[in-house]
Amino acid sequence: MTSTKPEGVNVHSLLENERRRDRFIRRVNIIAWSVTFTLVVVIAIIVGVQVAHFMRGAAAGEVPWMVVAGSTMPLVDVLWKLSLLVAALSTVAIFMRLRTASLAEIQLRLAALEEMVASRGDTRSGDGQ
């Protein structure tokens, strides 16, 4: 049986490299989600202050109530699109990476198993003679 592992390549180091990449992608994903949620809070505070100001004006009859609702729409629109984009892209990246890493890890583990079985077979055939 031919070996699927190139000569001079350490299987365990390849597996560790794959795990490091997975951890990096997970960290990027967590950071992206954290930034998105922080942005949500900051924009909510900004819009809340603006809406509170316009509500006082609307309650006094200085501006119509539609100004209050209209002042929130541009920020809300940008916010949900940004959140959706970051969440979707990071989630897809994680699923793609996990699938790719799983297949690569399976191949590397099979190569290591094949190598281990071959080395045990050589040892046993040498002991029997």
- pLDDT tens digit string along 43-92? 888 888 888 888 898 888 888 888 888 888 877 787 788 878 878 887 88
Q: Please tell me the pTM assigned to this model.
A: 0.53
Q: In the structure, what pLDDT confidence band is assigned to residue 128 with cuts at 50, 70 and 90?
A: low
Mean of pLDDT over the chain: 79
85-92, Cβ contacts within 8 angstroms, sequence gap of 24 or more: 86/32, 86/33, 86/35, 86/36, 87/33, 87/36, 90/28, 90/29, 90/32, 90/33, 91/29
Closest by CA to 104, choosing from 7, 9, 2, 1, is 9
